[in-house]
Structure 1
Amino acid sequence: MSFDEKIAALIQRIPKLIEHLQTEEATKNALVMPFISALGYDVFNPQEVVPEFTADVGVKKGEKVDYAVMRNAEVIFLIECKKVGVDLSHAEMSQLFRYFAVTKARIAILTNGVQYHFFSDLESPNKMDTKPFLELDLNDPRLPALEEVKKLAKEDFDLEQILSTASELKYNSAIKKILTGQYDSPDEEFVRFFFVRTNLGSKFTATAKEQFTPIVAKAFQQFINEKITDRLRSALQSEVKPIIEEEKLVPEELKSDILTTEEELEGFRIVRAVISKVVAPERVIYRDTKTYMGILLDDNNRKPICRLWFNSKQKYLGLFDSSKNEVKIAIDTLTDIYKHSDQLIATTQSYETQK
């Protein structure tokens, strides 16, 4: 199985497991070890993954970090685990800091099994930063974050490539957090910026601040809401049309015009991983056309699972109802496919029931 398929399977399991994970050890066994395994490392091979890794640090003797992932007998990244549900922004990281300084690792990961924070030494060489350059939440997986995490995989591990984008990722994350804070409660500097731009020549007094702050907050929130509404409207205006029972075969002379993109293949792997809960993965087949990729059960046109409409700027996921009518849903990232797992599974199961 690929990284995408393994992560998809793990994401599917999380809601069922969380309430049963009462300890840090349970979190490690149920969530963290499968995550390491998804990256391609053998968690049972001490040459690749060392649990309870020990390296004496100054006067601190016998302290351990939960996992050290190895390559050519050197530590390439460290993992410190907390119990599921622990707020990582306030979690103790002293061991990670110390171990980062005494190993050759340039990457350190703090996790509670669901959220993962990735650290490096961007600010000062060989000293772990206090803020992560990347955050991944498996309850809300975003494709850009998953793509960056994939660079840590055993087959694709490229430290220089990871570090080359780490600084940009760190600032990108910080900017989004600032915008989130301003959305919830705009501060004086933020309000002043808009006051000055819209009231040329006027002084930003205490009275102006008091009057203008709720105006800025409301305008900012309306702006975001309007953007969301535009997205939803686009989805609702998507075509609804019945599926053709038998699709015409593509003539040989036209097949050269069909380009199957890596993005389409990624989408296919996610769909296959989602419905592997109810059918064997090898029964899920794709057929690509000029305009969309069709995903079928048993390579049968009468058993459509979904369609991937990825050949335009706005991507759509085509889902089928019980009458095999297709509804195209606008999606922003490939991970949005996970949001429709229940319908994908229901559609697949309906064909099994017909047997």
Structure 2
Amino acid sequence: MEFAERLMALAAKVRQQRASIETEEATKNAFVMPFISTILGYDVFNPLEVVPEFTADVGVKKGEKVDYAIMHNGEVQILIECKKSKEPVKIEHASQLFRYFAVTNARIAILTNGEVYQFFTDLDAPNRMDAKPFLVLDLNDIDETLIPELQKLSKDVFDLDSIISAAGELKYIGQIKRTLAAQFKEPEDEWVKFFTSRVYEGAFTQRVREQFTTLVAKATKQFLNDQVNERLKTALGGPAYPHSDDAVAAAAVTSEPVVESDLEEAEALETTLEELEGYQIVRAIVCSEVKPSRIAQRDAKSYFAVLLDDNNRKPIARLHFNRTQKYIGLFDENKAETRVPINSLEEIYEHTETLRASVRNYLSTGN
């Protein structure tokens, strides 16, 4: 399994088990230890690689412990402090990390609740941990641009120099992106006033502020959709598609045979960005069995189909996304479809083996 796939799988596990995690110890066992082992690649049961309850006396503070210290080439390289998953990650929780960072060789410190991982280094002053993280990984909303940087911390390709050299840029870009995201979600007065002053010549009254708060929120959302749509157009070599927020009533989970006529394209079809993203995920999963060029997509009135060899008789999956409850349609060896409810695109990865098995079945039977 590729690095990104392992990360998505851990994110799916977090979503499934979050409600059952009540304590810090449970968070460590369920979320943090799998992150150390499956994502970073260190053996959590080998004290030469991972030291739990790591102790280093700091001044008058004797016997204080950091939850984990990760060793590389015999030296402490990463310190990890954990909080329970239902507790927000705050810099106030990092007092031990600050102290330990100054007395060990560690250049990376991680503060986490098992869902959000904040990565720190010493950009502002040597051997003193920064107050702000240079990288924030949220397993509930993974920023894919951070995956290559995160991978540099993994055991097989550990590259501290590259991480530190990129940390400054990552730190400020990350903060800017989070600020932009917050403004797009709930614009502040200064943000609204900035754009209003460039398109409206009247006084910035309370009535104007209220009116433009809504307009700015809509404009920024449409702008983001347009940018993503344009990138998909370039990547797929086809037309850009408008994104739709409309949904219809959810259908019950059913099993039904494949009907070729169901896949005939109809007039006024609207392919959404989410369907195209789902298609790309399915395509990435099954390319372990066949070349990506053999995976095709067709839209229909009630679902979006992913096919092998652009053949109606060889459905790999159906994406039923045009409703409040989303479903992925999976196929058995008899080409019978079973619809499985999903709440996010990442949950498609949970059906990796079923999707690959469908492709293998077509390859072995030729039908």
TM-score, normalised via structure 1 length: 0.68
* Structure 1 residue 61, shift from structure 2 partner: 0.4
Which residue matches 2:87?
Answer: 86
How many Å separate the matches in 2 of 1:292 and 1:7? 24
Q: Is the 8 A contact 1:304 1:320 kept in 2?
A: no
Q: 1:216 aligns with which of 212, 219, 242?
A: 212
Q: 2:101 aligned with 1:100, yes or no?
A: yes
Tell me how far apart the structure 2 counterparts of residues 125 and 79 of structure 1 sit (CA, whole Å).
Answer: 19
Partner residue of 2:28?
Answer: 28
2:18 maps to 18
Q: Which residues in structure 2 correspond to 1:66-81 (within 5 Å)?
A: 66-81=67-82
d(CA) in 1 for partners of 2:96 and 2:16? 31
CA shift at 1:128, angstroms? 0.8
Alpha-carbon spacing, 1:267–1:154, altered in 2? closer, same or farther (3 Å):
farther
**Aligned partners of 1:41 and 1:154 also within 8 Å:** yes
Match of 1:271 among 276, 285, 297: 285
Paired with 2:153 and 2:283, the residues of 1 have a C-alpha distance of: 19
Structure 2 letter corresponding to 1:225:
K
Confirm or deny: 8 A CA contact 2:41 2:155 kept in the other structure: yes
AA aligned opposite 1:16 = Q
After TM superposition, list the pairs within 5 Å mapping 1:175-190 onto structure 2: 175-190=176-191
The match for 1:287 among 263, 277, 290 is: 290
CA distance in 2, matches of 1:242, 1:219: 45
The offset of 1:66, in angstroms, is 0.4
Q: Which residue of 2 aligns with 1:338?
A: 346
In 1: Cα distance, 2:74 partner to 2:101 partner = 16
CA gap 1:17/1:189 in 2 versus in 1, 3 angstroms = closer
Structure 1 position 226 matched with structure 2 position 222 = yes
Q: Deviations over 1:173-214 (max 9, x none)?
A: 2112322343355445434433443467x8xxxx62534423
* Structure 2: distance between partners of 1:60 and 1:287: 59
What percentage of residue pairs aligned between the two structures are identical? 45
CA gap of 1:56–1:321, structure 2 versus 1, over 3 A, is closer
Q: Is the 8 A contact 2:295 2:307 kept in 1?
A: no
Give the Cα–Cα distance (whole angstroms) in 2 for the partners of residues 290 and 352 of structure 1: 16
Structure 2 partner of 1:145 = 146
Q: Which residue type is aligned with residue 126 of structure 2?
A: P
Query: What is the letter of the counterpart of residue 290 of structure 2?
Result: R
Distance 1:341 1:285, change over 3 A: closer
- 1:130-169 map, 5 Å: 130-169=131-170
Residue by residue over 1:51-83, the C-alpha shift from the partner in whole angstroms, topping out at 9 and shown as x without a partner, is 000001111000000000001221111100111
Greater shift after overlay, 154-163 or 222-231?
Answer: 222-231
Match of 2:119, SS state, is strand
Distance (whole Å) between structure 2 residues aligned to residue 320 and residue 89 of structure 1: 41
CA distance in 2, matches of 1:83, 1:349: 38
For 1:112 and 1:337, the matched residues in 2 are separated by 23
Indicate the residue corresponding to 1:333 in structure 2. Answer: none
Distance in 1 separating the partners of 2:25 and 2:284: 29
Query: 1:254-299: CA deviations, max 9, x gaps?
Result: xxxxxxxxxxxx9689737xxxxxxxxxxx84221557589999xx
Query: 1:46 deviation in Å?
Result: 0.7
**What SS does structure 2 have at the residue aligned with 1:92?**
helix
Give the SS at the match of 2:31: helix
What SS does the corresponding residue of 2:137 show, helix, strand or coil? strand
Give secondary structure in 2 for the equivalent of 1:226: helix
Counterpart position of 2:58: 57
- Give, in angstroms, the shift of residue 172 of structure 1: 1.5
Q: Which amino acid aligns with 2:210?
A: P
CA distance in 2, matches of 1:96, 1:161: 22
Distance 1:97 1:219, change over 3 A: same
Question: Cα 1:126–1:306, aligned 2, differ >3 Å: closer, same or farther?
Answer: farther
**Which residue of 2 is the match for residue 327 of structure 1?**
none
Q: How far apart, in 1, do the equivalents of 2:355 and 2:290 lie?
A: 18
Q: Which residue of 2 aligns with 1:122?
A: 123
Distance 1:120 1:269, change over 3 A: farther
Give aligned pairs, total: 289
Counterpart residue identity of residue 19, structure 2: E
Is the Cα contact below 8 Å between 2:285 and 2:355 reproduced in 1?
A: no
Question: Residue 8 of structure 2 contacts residue 349 of structure 2 at CA under 8 Å; is this kept in 1?
Answer: no
1:305 correspondence with 2:322: no
Q: 1:209 to 1:128 in 2, by over 3 A?
A: farther
- The runs of 5 or more residues in structure 2 that have no matched partner are 230-239, 245-258, 262-279, 298-305, 319-327, 336-343
User: Does the Cα contact within 8 Å between 1:64 and 1:95 map onto a contact in 2?
Assistant: yes
Give the root-mean-square deviation of aligned CA atoms.
Answer: 4.1
More moved, 55-64 vs 163-172: 163-172
| Counterpart contact for 1:83–1:113, Cα < 8 Å | yes
Q: Which residue of 2 aligns with 1:9?
A: 9
Distance apart, 1:148 and its partner CA: 1.7
Q: Which amino acid aligns with 1:27?
A: T
Aligned-partner residue type, residue 209 of structure 2: T
Aligned-partner SS, 2:106: coil
Distance 2:189 2:5 in 1: 46
